[in-house]
Chains A and B, each alone.
Chain A
Amino acid sequence: MSTLSRRKFLKLGLAGAGTLAVFRPSSLPAAPRINTSSQAHFYLQLIVQGGWDTSYLFDARPLAMTKAGKIQNYLGEEPSSWVGTNGGSLLTTSVASALMPFRNDFSVVNGVVMTPTFIGHDQNMNQLFTGNEFGGNSFVPYLNNADTGSTPTSLDAITSGFLFAHLENQESSVPLDPKSGSKLRSLFSALPQATPENELTNFIRARYQANSSGRGRFAQGTTLMRHGLEHTPTLQKVLSEIRPTDSATSPDMQFCALFSDCFRLGIARSAVWVLTAQAQNIDAHGSNQAKQQPQVLKELVNRIALIFKFLRETAYDSQRSLFDVTTVMVTSEFARTMRSPGVPIDNTGTDHNNLNNTVLIGGKGIRGGQIIGASDFQSADEKLSPAHFEIDQYALKIMGRPFDFATASPRIDTPEKFQIADYLTIGSVVNTIYKNFGCPETSTPTRKFLAVF
């Protein structure tokens, strides 16, 4: 099996820019700015960590495939068809029904290949965020470039929940849970500001300056301390404006209140919320876990729907909702295999499927209601491509269909050899986000995303 070289990935990433054609830039008039020096645009990443079973969501399969022993189905209902505004189609189930009222707010991207080589949670999560199975620079901080609307004091992101990924460029991404965030107000209200007028602050800053020269680790760390200290007065002021958490609401809603305050106050450009199922793990290797998935995923979908509702119903300013100024992506690190080998279809678990995933993408700059891409194995007797068997020899996985980037539609051919450039990948989705934020497509010392994607 061939591995994906950096050069290949870059090529693919550029090819992935073809998917941009299906997303229209926002045609809304320029809006008044709130606490930022540029047009408001934020990013919300919802991660359903553990590897979700997309066959209960927006990539379902007919019950005939279960009867044929191909795919487990503990819901036991025939899925229904949804045709997108662009003519793309999919099958969905009642598990995803809570999101249907928002169907025109987001588009579904199906058949997304994660890493074709590795099946681990961390490797695929790394691929999602960094374009490299082993981790590196996350794409999220690059959305906060100065020329795409960042203010100097704006954090790249606030994150909540443990993200199982190795991300390096996190110096301006801050884990902040709602409970902690709401306590910042009282903590900083009585604290003297570390302003340049403060004689002691100036002395401390001078020591940082004196120890910042050179490229050693200590000098670099001191440089970061100096930059951090310079921004503390402004940050202190805005952090103290974060509203107290309403403990009566759910953790999701508390995080929504936190990130909306952070967006509104210019504290952070992005927010990453790791959604974990409360009742049961979605990483359903065992049959007992797999049997719980319809209920577990329904609970997660309901929570995602409430977040969409929050975005829709929360005003950012007098003219726009939070949804109007926020691009949203919802996904998991990968989907699930159709079944485990060697066990009855009605008593099987599922394993990691890195060859297929579903991404929901909506909000600012994204035309909702579309269904982009598709996966194979739509019927029990579908003739799979030799390329499929090349990387899934026992045909346990649903795999993304080859994708025509020129027309932004799935191809019907069955390639002889697996070549990653034939498929819609998570890199293509991330490039879409980049384009959506106006990130330059050329690499500069401060914008290294092309080196990753």
Chain B
Amino acid sequence: MKISFRLSILIMLAALILSCTLSTRAFAQAAQFRGHAEVTTVLSQRLSPAGTPLALLPYVAKEPGLLNLLGAWTQFGGIHVFSNGLPNAVNMLLWYSTLYGVAKDVGARCNQPAGLALNTHFTRVLMAICAWPADSAKSEETMLAFWLGVMGYSAPEEEYQAWRTFFLTSSYKDKSGEEAVSAMTLAILMNPFLLLQN
């Protein structure tokens, strides 16, 4: 069948409008949380010794229902859906509460070797920054190693620079190693580049 020039223009125009509509719709979909399972995997790979993954369940009162509010895959019949992934006040509060607990336990390792199980590499990185507020802990090398140890390469450099500047200039610059490391850890863990699907 021969398609006239005018018709072909109309078809192209319709296709363009359709593609714009579809892309606008996709654009309007906010990124969701990665969910507790993926965050657990990521943090375990970075912080934990092999065979001892970091468990988030103890940080949510050991209640699986609350863990699922951090974002989780659920199943109904043959359908799998990702639930509770869109950030809201409740899951933000739960993430804050959960990661506050994790960060506190990471900071506590500065003074308690028997605390949270950490892998050898991260323990070495952690101990270096636990010397805070000593100058050695504030060096570019030590802070970058700690940032990469928790965040990996998930975030752009601007995020690292903002984080470093904050801890070198805020009241945390003079705080104890445990307190500063807890806060530094929480600041990284609450970063959207770590928590959101990207």
Contact = CB atoms under 8 A, between A and B. Distances in A.
A, B in one complex: yes
Contacts of A239: 90, 93
Given A221-B196, A235-B93, A170 B86 contact: yes
Contacts of A412: none
A200 B183 contact: yes
A174 interface: yes
Looking at chain B's contact residues, is the secondary structure mostly helix, strand, loop, or mixed? Answer: helix
Given A186-B61, A207-B162, A217-B30, A224 B88 contact: yes
A137 to B, nearest CB: 12
Contacts of A211: 192-193
Contacts of A224: 30, 86-88
B31 A221 contact: yes
Contacts of B197: 221
B192 A208 contact: yes
A264 B139 CA distance: 52
Contacts of B90: 155, 174, 176, 228, 235, 239
Interface string A188-201: 10011010000110
Contact of B191 (A155, A207, A235): A207
Nearest to B65: A180
Contact of B171 (A164, A192, A199): A199
B27 A216 contact: yes
Contacts of A162: 74, 76
Given A175-B69, A186-B61, A224-B30, A191 B100 contact: yes
B176 interface: no
A129 to B, nearest CB: 15
Contacts of A232: 89, 92-93, 96
Contact of A187 (B97, B166, B192): B97
A1 to B, nearest CB: 26
B31 to A, nearest CB: 3
Contacts, number: 137
A172 B186 contact: no
B60 interface: yes
Contact of A203 (B87, B92, B170, B198): B170
A235 B93 CA distance: 8
A210 B162 contact: yes
B65 A174 contact: no
Given A221-B31, A228-B91, A229-B96, A175 B86 contact: no
A177 B183 contact: no
Nearest to B156: A211
Interface string B161-198: 01100100011100000000001001100111101111
Contacts of B158: 210
Interface in A234-270: 235-236, 239
A180 B72 CA distance: 15
The 8 closest A-B pairs by CB, nearest first: A221-B31, A228-B92, A180-B65, A220-B30, A224-B87, A231-B89, A171-B86, A217-B31
Given A191-B96, A199-B172, 6 more contacts: A171-B88, A180-B63, A188-B93, A188-B97, A194-B96, A218-B192
30 contacts: A153-B89, A162-B76, A164-B76, A174-B91, A176-B65, A180-B66, A183-B66, A187-B60, A191-B96, A192-B100, A194-B96, A203-B166, A204-B187, A211-B193, A217-B29, A217-B30, A218-B31, A220-B31, A221-B30, A221-B192, A221-B197, A222-B31, A225-B192, A227-B89, A228-B88, A228-B92, A231-B89, A232-B96, A235-B90, A239-B90
